[in-house]
Amino acid sequence: MISSTVSSHPRFLNALACQNFNERPPVWIMRQAGRYLPEYQEIRKKYPLEEMFRHPELIFEITKQPLDILGVDAAILFADILHIPLSMGLDVSFPGKGGPVVSPKIESEDDLITLSPKPVEESLGFVKEGIHLLKKEIDVPLIGFCGGPFTVMTYMTGKKVKKWLYSDPESALEMLQMITDQSIRYLQMQVDAGVDAIQVFDSWANLLSNVEFQRFAKPFLKQIVQAVDVPVILFSRATSHFASEFVDLKPSAISFDWAYPLYELRKRVPETIAMQGNLDPEILYAPPHVIQKETEKMLTQMAGDPGYIVNLGHGVLPDIPVDHVRAFVDTVKAFSPQK
C-alpha cells in the first residue's frame, strides 16, 4: 500500500514497488539522522539522549536535518530500536560507552514475569506525535522502523542471548513471541500515524547459524512482514549470508551488507523484491573523488534495475565528515541511467 501524500516525490516508493523505470535510483542513508551531523551535535549538547528519543519536537527536528542538509530522497524516523523494551516496563539508558543498556536484564524464563507490555499508544505515544509533526512538513516519504525480535532480545539479555537459546529454547521462543507481538502493535501505530514504509533492523542476526536463524529469527520476521500494510524493508548485518531466507519472507525490499556486490546478489533475489545498499560505510573515510568513483561503480553495476535503492551496507559512522556523506548523495543524484 503506497501513501498518496508523497506523490510529488515518488522515486523511493516506486523503487520499493520495483517500478522506478528510466530514473536514477533513490538514495537515503541508514543513521542519516544522527551523530555525524554538527547540527545534531548541537542538540546533543543540550539534552540527554533519552530525552531526544522521547520528545516529539526533537524527533521532528533531528529527522528533518538530513533532508535540509543532504537532500536525500526519504526520511527515516529518529528513534531507537529499544523502544520495545521501554514499552514492556523496562528501563533503557545510554551511558555513552558500550552501547545502550536495558535493565533489569531478562536472562531466563524466571525473568519473563517482570515483563509488562503496555499499550503502545500510552508508552510510545511520543513516536506517534513526532510522526504527525513530520507528516505536516516534509514532502519525501517517511520510513518508520523497529528492531528485529532477535536483535531486541539480544540487548534485553545483556547479549547473553545464545546461552538462553540453548539452555531453554522454548522459553526463549516465548520471549521472542512477546517481543514480536509488541513490535507489530508499535509498527501498526506508526503506519496509522502516517509512515510510508517500515524498515526492520535485525542487525544481530549475524550471530546465528542458518539453522538457528530458521528457528529464532525467520518466523518472527515473517509475522511482521505479513502484519504491516506498507512496504517493509528487512536489514541485517548478515543479509548476504541469509539472502535466500530473506527472499522467502517476501518483503518489499532487502537491505544488504557489503559482503558481495549487489549485481551478484540480484541473481538470488527475484525482480519483484527491491534491493537496497550496499556501499561499505568505511569508504566514506576516503577523499570525495574516491567516494564518487566507488559510488559510480556501484550505480553502473545496478543501472536500469527498477527496484534499486542506494544506501550504505550499514549505518553512517559518527566521525565521517559531512562533505564526504554529501559526495555520496550528490553522486547518486547526478547519476543518469541513460549514460
In order, the DSSP letters of 121-177 are: HHHSHHHHHHHHHHHHH--S-EEEEEE-HHHHHHHHTTS-HHHHHHH-HHHHHHHHH
Query: What is the domain-level CATH number for residue 242?
Result: 3.20.20.210
- Which residues are catalytically annotated? 31, 35, 44, 80, 155
For 179-206, how does the pLDDT look when each residue is reduced to its tens digit (9 = 90+)? 999 999 999 999 999 999 999 999 999 9
Partner residues linked to 279 by β-bridges:
312
- Domain carrying residue 65: 4-334
Residue 82 included in any domain: yes
Helices and strands of the chain, counted as H and E runs: 16, 9
Give, to the nearest 10 degrees, the angle between helix 169-193 and helix 125-137: 40
- Coil, helix or strand at residue 92: strand
Which residues, other chains included, contact 75 with Cβ-Cβ below 8 Å and sequence gap of 6+?
Answer: 28, 33, 63, 64, 66, 67, 134, 138, 140, 141, 142, 143
d(CA 70, CA 266): 28
Contact predicate 200/221, CB 8 Å: yes
For 152-170, how does the pLDDT look when each residue is reduced to its tens digit (9 = 90+)? 999 999 889 999 999 999 9
Residue 71 included in any domain: yes
For 237-264, how does the pLDDT look when each residue is reduced to its tens digit (9 = 90+)? 999 999 999 999 999 999 999 999 999 9
Residue 111 C-alpha cell reads as 525473568
Residue 102 included in any domain: yes
Categorize the per-residue pLDDT at 2 as very low, low, confident or very high, splitting at 50, 70 and 90. Answer: very low
Residue 326 included in any domain: yes
Residue 199 C-alpha cell reads as 524498515
Vertex 216: Cα angle to 215 and 219 (nearest 5): 70
Does the pLDDT value for residue 1 go beyond 60? no
Distances (CA, A) of 212 to 143, 209, 215, 283, 315: 29, 5, 5, 32, 25
For 250-306, how does the pLDDT look when each residue is reduced to its tens digit (9 = 90+)? 999 999 999 999 999 999 999 999 999 999 999 999 999 999 999 999 999 999 999
Q: What is the pLDDT of residue 172?
A: 96
Q: What is the pLDDT of residue 97?
A: 74
Q: What is the pLDDT of residue 14?
A: 97
Residue 257 included in any domain: yes
Domain count, the chain: 1
Does the pLDDT value for residue 150 go beyond 60? yes
Residue 339 included in any domain: no
Phi, psi angle pair for 93, to nearest 5°: -125, 160
For the chain, how long is the longest CA-to-CA vector?
A: 62
Q: What is the pLDDT of residue 9?
A: 60
For 66-83, how does the pLDDT look when each residue is reduced to its tens digit (9 = 90+)? 999 999 999 999 999 999
For 206-247, how does the pLDDT look when each residue is reduced to its tens digit (9 = 90+)? 999 999 999 999 999 999 999 999 999 999 999 999 999 999
Residue 247 included in any domain: yes
pTM of the model: 0.95
Residue 118 included in any domain: yes
Residue 177 C-alpha cell reads as 513471541
